Amino acid sequence: MNDKKLKIKITEDGKIFAETIGIKGKECMEYIEILEELLDAQTIDSAYTAEYYEIERRTTLQNKQQVIKGE
């Protein structure tokens, strides 16, 4: 099981820092967009973590055949 987390830090001067943890690939951007909406804020600067460049591997069963996505 992959725990997906969003680590948020708000400084005394009102700056918000957010980091996604356990979210691979471009999916992390969806979480940041939601955070921007909730806080009525806009990203000023960003950097990708190593997880951004990883592909999440998902295994599902389809018609009794194993299908592996992300390879």
In tens, the pLDDT along 4-60 reads: 888 989 899 988 898 888 888 888 888 889 988 988 888 888 888 888 887 766 555
Local structure of 1: helix, strand or coil: coil
Q: Are 42 and 52 in contact (CB under 8 A)?
A: no
- Domain with 43, as residue range(s), is 5-69
The one-letter amino acid at 29: M
The one-letter amino acid at 56: E
DSSP string, 10-47: E-TTS-EEEEEES--TTHHHHHHHHHHHHHT-------
In tens, the pLDDT along 47-67 reads: 888 888 877 665 555 565 555
pLDDT of 63 reads 62
Q: Tell if the pTM clears 0.75, that is, is over it.
A: no
pLDDT of 4 reads 87
pLDDT of 28 reads 84
Q: Are 12 and 4 in contact (CB under 8 A)?
A: no
Number of domains in the chain: 1
